[in-house]
């Protein structure tokens, strides 16, 4: 009898990180793989499904414009109940810390279906940062009997909480997805040229600052500061900025309002994963609040400045591949300016070790699910107790 595994996801980052795992599950003779997407994201999810060739068996299509968390969570639980009743999975897999993950885990738990949590154990220790993700990832771990921790320090976080499930260190599946994608780009000159041609306005002689930002705790003042910093940096003509703007209206409104007419700033639509990975390869510095980008950029040897006060991904900070700069205008300008002026320091990032995975996380997860032997990921994050990393206080630029 094959084990029926129902993978549930709904946002862009979940889709990228679940895609290599779904492919591995589909290939396994002992597994009957079923995929349900909640559609928490619509266009950004479709971009990923198309790229990896995943056709979900169930699509709840739940996204609404400017959806509230409660409306979305309630609709996920209600709609998923019918799917759980019809599919009768032996286990569900959820990913990370989204509303899709927490609502789906609860729906499965209510039906006594075992939950496996992919990317378990990330913590900041502060329920409000990131909000609401820190709560989501904690409650999913409480409900899970199998926790796939990406690193030794995420395992240590879980161990401290004395949860009841089994913890397995796998590496992060984002590195599996990234490796598959860079192999496609690096092995196909025509594809690379095609991707570069999508951004004809870029000047190869000018450093490229790649920006993404979408965190809810930065809505309002945080985004106003970030945009002001970007405008200030762009006005110096020292770099060109490309910012693929998240589709959340709370992000698009202020970003377009402040930066639409700024010199050297290119606001573009969200890129598909191939296009975004290529842009990361071309970037001199990446400025972001994204979780996934904090894991990918170190693997590409790119300097990352994280526009948050605290991160649940301390491994890269400890490894020196990521720096926290917060959301204050002066601190962002100062950090970017200093790095732009120091080519030696920028290239040092490329020599530091990526702590997040070796491209075999999906294989380990499937081995754990099927009871086959495997070696856990030997996480090279230096310590099991790196702890939470905070941004240094902002200093004024003179």
Catalytic residue numbers read 97, 119, 133, 214, 216, 246
Residue of the chain from 107, 143, 241, 271 that contacts ligand UDP (CB under 6 A): 271
Cβ proximity of 263 and 231 under 8 Å = no
User: Taken in order 132, 134, 138, 140, is the CA torsion positive or negative?
Assistant: positive
Q: Considering only 268-276, 325-333, 348-356, 387-395, which stretch makes contact with ligand UDP by CB under 6 A?
A: 268-276
Residue 181 interacting with ligand UDP (CB under 6 A): no
The CA distance from 286 to 298, in Å, is 10
Count the neighbouring beta carbons within 10 Å of the beta carbon of residue 350.
12
The CA distance from 27 to 186, in Å, is 25
Q: Considering only 157-165, 252-260, 291-299, 333-341, which stretch makes contact with ligand UDP by CB under 6 A?
A: 291-299
Residue 290 interacting with ligand UDP (CB under 6 A): yes
Cβ proximity of 276 and 205 under 8 Å = no
Closest approach, Cβ 231 to ligand UD1, in A, equals 23
Residue 132 interacting with ligand UDP (CB under 6 A): no
Residue 325 in tokens: 């700069």
Which of these, 334, 337, 339, 333, lies nearest to 320 by C-alpha position? 339
Site map (CB under 6 A) of ligand UDP, residues 237-256, x = contact: -------x------------
Residue of the chain from 58, 95, 138, 214 that contacts ligand UDP (CB under 6 A): 214
67 binds, among ligand UDP, ligand UD1, none (CB under 5 to 8 A by kind): ligand UD1
Which of these, 280, 371, 387, 287, lies nearest to 329 by C-alpha position? 287
Residue of the chain from 7, 13, 54, 391 that contacts ligand UD1 (CB under 6 A): 13
Binding footprint of ligand UD1, residue count (CB under 6 A): 25
Closer residue to ligand UD1 in complex, CB, 206/220: 220
Closest approach, Cβ 36 to ligand UDP, in A, equals 19
The CA distance from 25 to 367, in Å, is 10
Angle at 19 between CA 183 and CA 190, to 5 degrees: 30
Could you list the residues that contact ligand UD1 (CB under 6 A)? 11-13, 40-44, 63-67, 69, 72, 97-99, 132-133, 214, 216, 247-249
């Amino acid at each position: 009898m094959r084990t029926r595994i129902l993978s549930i996801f709904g946002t862009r980052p979940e889709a990228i990180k679940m895609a290599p795992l779904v492919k591995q599950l589909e290939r396994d003779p002992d597994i009957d793989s079923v995929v349900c997407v909640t559609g928490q994201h619509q266009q950004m999810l479709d971009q990923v499904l198309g790229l990896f060739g995943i056709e979900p068996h169930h699509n709840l299509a739940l996204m609404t414009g400017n959806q509230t968390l409660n409306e979305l969570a309630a609709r996920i639980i209600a709609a998923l109940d019918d799917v759980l009743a019809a599919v009768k999975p032996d286990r569900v897999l959820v990913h990370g810390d989204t509303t899709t993950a927490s609502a789906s885990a609860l729906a499965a738990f209510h039906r006594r279906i075992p939950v496996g949590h992919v990317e378990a154990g990330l913590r900041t220790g502060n329920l409000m940062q990131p909000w609401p993700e820190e709560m989501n990832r904690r409650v999913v771990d409480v409900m899970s009997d199998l926790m796939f921790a990406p690193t030794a320090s995420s395992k240590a976080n879980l161990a401290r909480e004395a949860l009841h499930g089994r913890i397995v260190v796998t590496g992060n599946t984002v590195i599996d997805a990234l490796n598959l994608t860079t192999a496609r780009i690096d092995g196909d000159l025509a594809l690379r040229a095609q991707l570069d041609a999508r951004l004809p306005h870029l000047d190869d002689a000018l450093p490229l600052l790649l920006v993404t930002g979408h965190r809810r705790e930065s809505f309002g003042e945080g985004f106003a500061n970030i945009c002001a910093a970007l405008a200030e940096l762009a006005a110096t003509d020292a770099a060109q900025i490309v910012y693929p703007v998240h589709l959340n209206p709370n992000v698009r409104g202020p970003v377009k309002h402040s930066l639409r007419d700024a010199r050297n700033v290119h606001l573009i639509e969200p890129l598909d994963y191939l296009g975004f990975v290529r842009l990361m390869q071309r970037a001199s510095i990446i400025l972001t609040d994204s979780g996934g980008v904090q894991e990918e950029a170190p693997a590409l040897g790119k300097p990352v400045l994280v526009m948050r006060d605290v991160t649940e991904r301390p491994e890269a900070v400890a490894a020196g591949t990521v720096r926290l700069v917060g959301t204050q205008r002066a601190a962002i300008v100062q950090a970017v300016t200093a790095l732009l002026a120091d080519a030696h320091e920028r290239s040092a990032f490329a020599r530091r070790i990526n702590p997040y995975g070796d491209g075999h996380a999906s294989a380990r997860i499937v081995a754990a699910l099927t009871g086959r032997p495997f070696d856990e990921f030997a996480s090279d994050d230096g310590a099991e107790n790196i702890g939470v990393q905070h941004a240094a206080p902002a200093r004024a630029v003179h």
